[in-house]
Chains A and B, each alone.
Chain A
Amino acid sequence: MTMAASTDAATPAVPTVAPAPERVGERWSWAPYLLSLPGLALFAVLLLVPLAMTALLSLNSFSFYGGIQDVWRFDNYLEILADSYFHEVFLRTFRIAALVTLLCALLGAPQAYILRRMTPAWRSLCLLIVLGPLLISVVSRTLGWALLLGSTGLLNQALMNLGLVSEPIEFMYTETGVVIALTHVLVPFMVLSVWASLQRLDPQVENAALSLGAGPSTVLRRIVLPQIVPGILSGSIIVFALAASAFATPAIIGGRRLKVAATLAYDEFLNTLNWPLGATVAILLLLANIVIIVGCNRLVERRYKQVFE
């Protein structure tokens, strides 16, 4: 009773005092939007507009004599979806990207873990070696791989001189060659990403597992690995996206014979001059990339939800 009475007594005072400061807080503030306008404008001009133009272009049609026709149809999409040649190219693209991602995870994650266990002096040296390739242009690195992988290249000569093979193995213009070169190009991204999540690991947590009787391999599997899943996942997303849309490496190692989506789009634009079809390839590549990445992301996040908080 007394409680009710006191609230009743207090109520009349509320409307006269409380709303005033509330209105100040609720007033629409333009400052943050105005301040981010330059950034938003840059983003729109450099990304959204070209993307929208590509999407529109993909709806046009192309005739060999008339050039680009201003029509709005899904013919290009239907053509790609119906033609087994395009299926093959897209399948190859994602097969390569998936393999490269897997290899990068298998190589990069242990590499990052080993780096963390090193003494600081060795660690900075090895980190430089791992990340150094990022400082060299992709084209020159890939040309280097072409020299190594060619039928008279260093690798084949070594294998033949060792008597391991009698004929040179064909790496150039094969998926194997593309996968090897792309893995080399992209593994630093995985190392960096796993490295970042390893930094957040408390070394005493590993000690705790040891003290409870877990052997080193159990600690790695049950304690370390689950905690660096977010790092491996974000590394995989970066590597997969870069591998699926890579151009220079497949162009040099894969050449004309072994097309992937990016080289296919390039050829449609610059050789066949069928810009709308090229644009369609690019848009489909983008869409497939988004679907695959978001899908995998969801799956892994659900499986390891507690480490993602």
Chain B
Amino acid sequence: MSYLVLDRLTKRFTSWTAVDDLSLTVEKGELISLLGPSGCGKTTTLQMIAGFLDPNAGRITLDGQDLLAKKPNERGLGIVFQSYALFPHMTAAENVAFGLEMRGTSRVDRDRMVANTLKLVGLDSYGDRYPRRMSGGQQQRVALARALVIKPHLLLLDEPLSNLDAKMREEMQIELRRIQRSVGTTMILVTHDQSEAMALSDRVVVMNKGRIQQVATPQEAYDRPANAFVANFLGRTNLLPGTVEHDQNGTSIAVADARWPVIQAVPPGPGALAVRPEKISFVAEAGLSGIVQARVFQGTQWLFEVETAAGRMMVIRQHDGGVLPNERERVMVGWRPEDMAVMPAQEAA
């Protein structure tokens, strides 16, 4: 049995369905990221796990116990709120100490733990400041410290690093990863920063309009997106229409004048393939022919735009001294079968 199980969760606000039939299992000690465009239901999902919103349907179990039967103050989770939600009438140190106080930690231990945690987030000299007197990034770190200090088994992080500068964000990412590794804290992280999700997560959950689009390791989701939404959401991609055929040699997909063998299991009929710009190379034969419309030098790489019979494609080649085509040149582009993701046509809409 998995540590945290979300089973067919649905949350409706009057007529709007914010989370739609969402099922997800999270293993103990895992760091899983929720990714998706604004308003896709990430915060709503976390709020249901935390107990601040009641789902209209579905079940949540944590460590085999029904979580929905427990009140929010009995769930023992650590939460970093998107809006920080600091106590405005308490100093930074009092904010951090509040959870320990509720747990009956002795004064001496409390002071020591608060000091350590504030130091961890780089705020050791800000203990007696009120939130109103702190910058957005400092407030966010107090919120992080407040959730970390109680050493919860499950940590819900709603864009916990969104307001930090690049250096501080990197430090906090490493810190989160260290805590997850050493203490074994299970974490659910909501982030808008794809590279952050890619760098930190064991698995990513890509959501759109309240529904899960794909759950996979970061690399898998990037290399083999389940559908066009995931392909477009995670970095840039080329999406080409084609026809999937099954014959005695196996499955293949025909795109304009070219054909690639397909490794994945896809039903025959109209389909589409997604391939990343940096996975495409210029080939001499067995490729898709087209004309270079534009080429742009980007320092370490060249960006090409190639007009083919299947549509306009983006190609990225490293600037490594190799011979590259010029504008208006007739070329042929190709890629390895394992570098593309093939999906039925309805998934590509």
Chain A residues near B (Cβ < 8 Å):
202, 204-205, 207-216, 218, 222-223, 226-227, 304, 306-307, 309
Contact = CB atoms under 8 A, between A and B. Distances in A.
Nearest to B81: A204
Interface stretch (B70-78, B290-298, B338-346): B70-78
A228 to B, nearest CB: 10
A105 B169 CA distance: 46
Contacts of A215: 73
A307 B189 CA distance: 32
A207 B50 contact: yes
Given A207-B50, A208-B79, A306-B130, A213 B102 contact: yes
A218 B73 CA distance: 11
B160 to A, nearest CB: 13
For chain B, which range describes its interface: under 10, 10 to 19, 20 to 34, or 35 or more residues? 20 to 34
B99 interface: yes
Shortest Cβ-Cβ A-B pairs, 10 listed: A212-B99, A213-B102, A204-B85, A208-B85, A210-B72, A226-B89, A210-B73, A211-B79, A207-B52, A205-B85
B92 to A, nearest CB: 12
Nearest to A304: B89
Contacts of A227: 88-89
Given A218-B102, A309-B132, A211 B89 contact: no
B83 A202 contact: yes
Given A202-B85, A205-B87, A223-B87, A211 B102 contact: no
A213 B77 CA distance: 9
B167 interface: no
Nearest to B76: A213
Given A211-B75, A212-B146, A213-B73, A205 B86 contact: yes
Q: From A202, A210, A304, name the one whose CB has the most chain B CB atoms within 10 angstroms.
A: A210
Contacts of A212: 73, 98-99, 102, 146, 150
B112 interface: no
A213 B99 CA distance: 7
A239 B89 CA distance: 25
Contact of A213 (B50, B81, B85, B103): B103
A304 to B, nearest CB: 7
A306 B300 CA distance: 53
A202 B82 CA distance: 12
B252 to A, nearest CB: 53
A207 B83 contact: no
Contacts of B98: 209, 212, 214, 222
A226 B74 CA distance: 24
B95 to A, nearest CB: 9
A204 B146 CA distance: 14
25 contacts: A202-B85, A204-B81, A205-B88, A207-B50, A207-B52, A207-B72, A207-B85, A208-B79, A208-B85, A208-B86, A211-B50, A211-B51, A211-B73, A211-B75, A211-B77, A212-B73, A212-B99, A213-B76, A214-B102, A215-B73, A223-B87, A226-B89, A227-B89, A306-B88, A306-B89
Contacts of B132: 306, 309
Given A205-B87, A210-B52, A307-B89, 8 more contacts: A207-B79, A208-B79, A208-B146, A211-B72, A211-B78, A211-B79, A212-B150, A215-B73
A130 B76 CA distance: 39
A204 B150 CA distance: 19
A308 to B, nearest CB: 10
B254 to A, nearest CB: 53
B81 A214 contact: no
A202 B88 CA distance: 10
B297 to A, nearest CB: 40
Contacts of B74: 213
A216 to B, nearest CB: 8
A211 B78 CA distance: 7
Contacts of A309: 130, 132
Nearest to A223: B87
A278 B75 CA distance: 65
A227 B79 CA distance: 22
Nearest to A205: B85
Contact of A307 (B52, B88, B103): B88
A215 B150 CA distance: 16
A215 B101 CA distance: 12
A208 B47 CA distance: 11
Nearest to B130: A306
Contact of A214 (B73, B76, B79, B85): B73
